[in-house]
Amino acid sequence: MKVPPQLPRLYQAARDWGGQHPTVVDLGWALLMLSLAWVQPRVRPTNGFAFWPLLLQLALVLPLTLRRRAPFPVFLTTAAVAFLQWVTTGVMPADAAVLFALGTVAVHCPGRQAAAAFGVSELGALLAAWRLTPDPAQEPDRTPGDVVGLFVLLSGMVVAALAVGLAIRSRRAQVAGLRERASALEQQRDQQAALAVARERSRIAREMHDIVTHNLSVMVALADGAVYAAEKSPERATAAMRQSAETGRAALADMRRFLGVLRADEPDALRHPQPGLGQLETLVQQVRAAGLPTELRLTGDQDAASAGAQLTAYRLVQESLTNTLKHTAPGARAFVSVHVTDRTLELDIRDDGRALPRPPGHVGQGLGGMRERAAAYGGRLTAGPQPLGGWRVAAVLDLKDPEAREKESA
């Protein structure tokens, strides 16, 4: 039979409402238990209306309204009322309230309180079995063994109530553990996403810094040279401005290429590879045109380095030469050495110029980005002044795959 689609929604709505109003739900169950107990002939008065049985029924059942707020006190109350009833009137069906209270203690209370409640319930089962079993003197066919049999039956009900309560407790603990784990996984996922965004933003910032800073530095140097040569050598000034324009167009091309890599829907992204060791000669020519004589020495098998490692090496050389252009007095020379082996890519960039004073409070970001690039390939980078003047940047990139690096580090 097909279940109507609205029934699961109604059931879930009822559960949500019950979770928000537990006392009302427990009151409803208590009144239902009271009505079922009162219709039993055993508890209805035969000669007139007696208040005592009704009061006992109410005292047994109504405390269950607060069973989830105060489980153990409610159990003690129902057990005390059940004992008073046993002394005065006997056993009634509403004594089942003791079992409900026991189950609630098993769900919500510590193990010691649950064990104490179980012991009290077992004692009550023994007393009830003794009261419910007739005296052998009055009924010869009944024997004391009947007390044992009835006690086993009532004791089974007590054990069942305790077992149900413990099962509910275990299930709730399991569900709570799953929810906590899901929450932790969700938090971990959010943290990983935030870290990935931060890493991507840092990578984009490094790329933009390298592209923009280098090309602008070259263009500024060319423009300054054109200004100085405008009066004495117009031809050189014109050549410098043309070179500046070419550098600007190259910067725009680099920017489009970089943005194309970032955009997945860019159709020309794959046709514009990132620069590598093969483009170092073009980079050195730009720097020479800007007024910094530079020598390049490239040895080893370039194909042994991956595209990512070549891009990292290119950016390190680019940033180093840009810093020389920006922070070194005129007349300096630069030397670039790149050596590729099967396992490493070694860089050595140095100049012999005099460092220019920097503005107060100036904090550069180039060296930090260079160290991050080198660290991404398990490498190390050192930068600092040379003993005889000038500045030197040295880096060694590890060309092994990341898994091999992790195994060696372990």
pLDDT tens column, 312-357: 888 889 888 888 888 888 888 999 999 998 888 999 999 988 887 7
The domains of the chain, with CATH numbers, are 6-132 (no CATH), 281-355+364-410 (3.30.565.10)
Strand ranges across the sheet with 344-351: 294-300, 334-340, 344-351, 391-398, 380-385
Q: Which of 214, 209, 219 is nearest to 290 (CA)?
A: 219
Question: What is the Cα–Cα distance from 374 to 367, expressed in whole angstroms?
Answer: 11
Q: Of 9-13, 224-228, 286-290, 392-396, where does mean pLDDT reach its minimum?
A: 9-13
Q: Say what the pLDDT of residue 290 is.
A: 79
Q: Of 82-91, 111-120, 270-279, where does mean pLDDT reach its minimum?
A: 270-279
Number of Cβ within 10 Å of residue 284's Cβ equals: 20
Sign for the pseudo-dihedral over CA of 285, 289, 290, 291: positive
Average pLDDT, the chain: 76
Question: What is the Cα–Cα distance from 291 to 240, expressed in whole angstroms?
Answer: 10
Alpha carbon of residue 409 to chain centroid: 27
- pTM for this prediction: 0.48
Q: Is 150 helix (H, G, I), strand (E, B) or coil?
A: helix
Q: Of 33-47, 76-90, 182-196, 282-296, where does mean pLDDT reach its minimum?
A: 33-47
Question: What is the Cα–Cα distance from 271 to 268, expressed in whole angstroms?
Answer: 5
Residue 9 has pLDDT above 70, yes or no: no
Number of Cβ within 10 Å of residue 379's Cβ equals: 22
| Helices 145-229 and 307-327, packing angle to 10 deg | 50
Q: Say what the pLDDT of residue 148 is.
A: 79
pLDDT tens column, 151-194: 888 888 889 989 998 998 899 889 888 888 988 888 888 888 88
Question: What is the Cα–Cα distance from 81 to 75, expressed in whole angstroms?
Answer: 10
